[in-house]
Structure 1
Amino acid sequence: MEPAVQIDRLTKEFTRRDGTLVKAIDDADLVVEPGEFVVLLGPSGCGKTTLLRTIAGLETPDRGQIRVSGKTVFSSDERVLVTPSQRNLSMMFQSYALWPHMTVRNNVRYPLENRRAGKMSRSQMQEKVEDSLATVGISDLIDQYPGQLSGGQQQRTALARALVDGSRVVLFDEPLSNVDAQVREQLRIELLATQRRLGFTAIFVTHDQAEAMELATRIAVLDQGKVQQFGTPEEIYRSPATEYVATFIGSTNRMAGAWDSSAGVFRTSHGPIRVGDGRPTPKQANLLWRPEDGGLSQEDPGTTNAISGTVQAMLFMGSHTEYIVQCGEDRMRIWSSRPTSLSVDDHVWITLDPECVMVFEDSSDSRPSDEAGSTESAAGRSAEVVS
């Protein structure tokens, strides 16, 4: 079976006002299988929306090739450029792009009225529209106008319009960003259930890590136009390919280490740290670990992978409590789902499982996370690239 979407060596460049050339997409490769829900994830400026728009035909790449369901829709070598209307896919925009003067019925019917091949009768179009609205659960709103709808209802209308033509590939450009958190969570579940039921291939752009982890069968993490890693949510989270991916997906703690081959440990300012078998052992490394992977104790365990510190704050998060622990000049975050008797200013020991320590070579151009190990700095760093 042909891939639903295949991208090879794709490059898209933009020129800034000062004449500087910027690669919004930089030699990207991606293969999306039929029925997958693939999320393009990254901060503003990473190139994810530009990549989506090139698939849709709304942006023309400079080099490379794009195939949709086995058909070449763009090729710089073969000089192929298929118009958006002939690519056999649908797209749902962030703004929903609903016609304000049209009812829900007419908005959803619009793609059927303007299709170039396989014209339908009015009764056939009506049946398609009703089925599509029933699929997203807003049949009772068929005669309403967009201005009479809530944000969630507008989102469902846009989704119904994207699905009405039976496209096997549907592109989503941050479609849930305009609704509040509670509605967004509900719509995620509904969207995923609809995609599973109908079996279409979804390519979804977001900067929301939780949204990506919840929706995706596979995630493509982008940075400065490059696909840094493409894998399942678990692979991305537990086995990040780069330090950038590790710090952007989820929260991390970080410390510098120097490899001591004679002792088989990394020497850090917090003592010796042992890592799991098979981990790289560069001379200078950044050691990262997730807040949920650290243990807390008030007694010195007397082993490697024990970090001494003082509790600075405790934040109750519902499913867990977050402990902010000052360890020398570093501030560490620990998440614990078990109740403890700890208080602010208590002296504690953080213990680490060697298998949970991620190792990345320390290089001069590495971009460390903030001192608390949060991902805010990673998410905030963006190149001046169209996204």
Structure 2
Amino acid sequence: MTQLTSAPSRGAQRNAHDADAAEPAVQIRQLNKHFRRRDGSTVPAIDGASLDIQDGEFIVLLGPSGCGKTTLLRSVAGLETPDSGSITVRGKAVFDSGTGANLGADRRGLSMVFQSYALWPHMTAAQNVRYPLENQKGARQGRAVMNQRVAEALEAVGIGDLGGQYPNQLSGGQQQRVALARALVNNSKVVLFDEPLSNVDAKVRESLRIELLAMQRRFGFTALFVTHDQAEAMELATRIAVLDRGKVQQFGTPDEIYARPATEYVAKFIGNTNELSGRRADGGYETPLGLVRTPQDVGERATVLFRPEHAQLSRERPEAASALAGQVVAVLFMGTHTEFLVRSGETRMRIWVSGRSTDFAEGDEVWVGLQEPDVMVFPRQDHDGQPEGDD
């Protein structure tokens, strides 16, 4: 009996990745894609993107609308033709501008889950899942084998009893499961996801994330997943590629992306930050709120960032490396934390304290303490995105 294959544990997958012994499941090299505007000008959708994706990884392409993440995914899928570069899937060149290789989407050995799910409305859930088996290249399997595989795929995603339902009889979450079952039914080793959770409500989306990650661990497919949701990326990803205007700004683990952002753009896009302008001074950078101590030296002018959860509030001047004075102007209970909005002059800072905190109230004079490891410093950019020159 044919069955959906299982895979090693997530830990085993990480160890395999750390060993770096296997050929990448997907390799992208210097990929470029431009779109032409109506006025004749061109805009880069993908700008020199290079990624190595290992077997069993869950890679998330993250960025705002228009950053190029979906174009990159569609290029891997064969739904967009890049201008130059190369894409290799499990050792096979599916696109190479140098050799002229450009395999069709149906010959790349990939499955894809679309944002809209792309289910045939006149087919039942089971018929939608069976569709790729009926249309696959090569020898076609017998109907009994196909039906067995469809039943197993529907059962694997938790809707084994809904095979006879039509898409308009299913909830958004159930439709998403049908689309995922269709992607898994032919044991594809690489599955592409184009924001598949964006059409369901927040509670269902959170549940589906957990289920999706569990299924990816169980079946061991390599996932390439597009989203603009930072929390989704942090929860799902083995590694995250943060994109901006077609460029991969940073490619690393969620911890690396959050704790050690490579650029100011990444630091601001992932999580929340407080921002101060600084000028180089003895021991750090002088800001409108006082000296922020840091061993980092990125030039005469800098953008100084710190995250709301990394600062400490106190009534007395703290012994922290840096101490900034201000006044509490708002207190917001957010459930997991309490947010204090602290104002100093024209500058406002958001400070988070875990849980419900009643230690400070509106109007209280407070100090904001910062430790050196929690300060992020980047060269201050001019309006063209270039570092400002020294005065």
TM tier, smaller: over 0.9
Question: How many residues are paired up?
Answer: 363
1:319 is aligned to 336
1:361 to 2:379 alignment: yes
**Residue segments in structure 2 that go unaligned for 5+ positions in a row:** 1-21, 386-391
1:42 to 2:89 alignment: no
**Alpha-carbon distance, 1:119 to partner:** 1.5
1:125 to 2:180 alignment: no
Give the 5 Å matches for 1:44-123: 44-123=65-144
- Say whether the 8 Å CA contact 2:284–2:297 is kept in structure 1: no
Q: 2:293 aligns with which of 274, 281, 297?
A: 274
2:12 is aligned to none
1:297 to 2:314 alignment: yes
1:155 is aligned to 176
**Alpha-carbon distance, 1:302 to partner:** 6.6
- Say whether the 8 Å CA contact 1:171–1:203 is kept in structure 2: yes
Give the secondary structure class of the aligned counterpart of 1:147.
Answer: helix
Partner amino acid for 2:348?
R
- Say whether the 8 Å CA contact 1:11–1:62 is kept in structure 2: yes
With over 3 angstroms needed to count, the CA separation of the structure-2 counterparts of 1:285 and 1:366, relative to structure 1, is farther
- Say whether the 8 Å CA contact 1:271–1:304 is kept in structure 2: no
With over 3 angstroms needed to count, the CA separation of the structure-2 counterparts of 1:326 and 1:357, relative to structure 1, is same
What TM-score results when the alignment is normalised by the length of structure 1? Answer: 0.92
Cα distance in 2 for partners of 1:310, 1:88 equals 59
- Say whether the 8 Å CA contact 1:28–1:227 is kept in structure 2: yes
Give the 5 Å matches for 1:1-387: 1-260=22-281, 263-275=282-294, 277=295, 279-301=296-318, 304-337=321-354, 339-365=357-383
Cα distance in 1 for partners of 2:339, 2:113 equals 37
Cα distance in 1 for partners of 2:286, 2:81 equals 50
What TM-score results when the alignment is normalised by the length of structure 2? Answer: 0.91
Cα distance in 1 for partners of 2:64, 2:133 equals 35
Partner amino acid for 1:67?
T
**Alpha-carbon distance, 1:154 to partner:** 0.3
Cα distance in 2 for partners of 1:107, 1:299 equals 65
Cα distance in 1 for partners of 2:384, 2:288 equals 20
Partner amino acid for 2:359?
S
Give the secondary structure class of the aligned counterpart of 2:82.
Answer: coil
Partner amino acid for 2:212?
L
Cα distance in 2 for partners of 1:84, 1:342 equals 59
Partner amino acid for 1:231?
G
**Residue segments in structure 1 that go unaligned for 5+ positions in a row:** 368-387
Partner amino acid for 1:301?
P
**Alpha-carbon distance, 1:366 to partner:** 6.9
Cα distance in 2 for partners of 1:141, 1:290 equals 46
Give the secondary structure class of the aligned counterpart of 1:18.
Answer: coil
Cα distance in 2 for partners of 1:223, 1:238 equals 19
Cα distance in 2 for partners of 1:229, 1:15 equals 27
**Alpha-carbon distance, 1:341 to partner:** 2.4
Partner amino acid for 1:319?
T
**Alpha-carbon distance, 1:280 to partner:** 3.2
Cα distance in 2 for partners of 1:81, 1:358 equals 43
- Say whether the 8 Å CA contact 2:176–2:196 is kept in structure 1: yes
Residue deviations 1:19-77 (CA, integer Å, cap 9, x gap): 11111000110110000000000000000000000000000000000000010000000
Cα distance in 2 for partners of 1:304, 1:205 equals 39
**Alpha-carbon distance, 1:272 to partner:** 1.2
- Say whether the 8 Å CA contact 1:272–1:304 is kept in structure 2: no
Identical columns (%): 61
Give the secondary structure class of the aligned counterpart of 2:95.
Answer: strand
**Alpha-carbon distance, 1:337 to partner:** 1.0
Give the secondary structure class of the aligned counterpart of 2:147.
Answer: helix
- Say whether the 8 Å CA contact 2:29–2:51 is kept in structure 1: yes
With over 3 angstroms needed to count, the CA separation of the structure-2 counterparts of 1:235 and 1:366, relative to structure 1, is farther
- Say whether the 8 Å CA contact 2:230–2:270 is kept in structure 1: yes
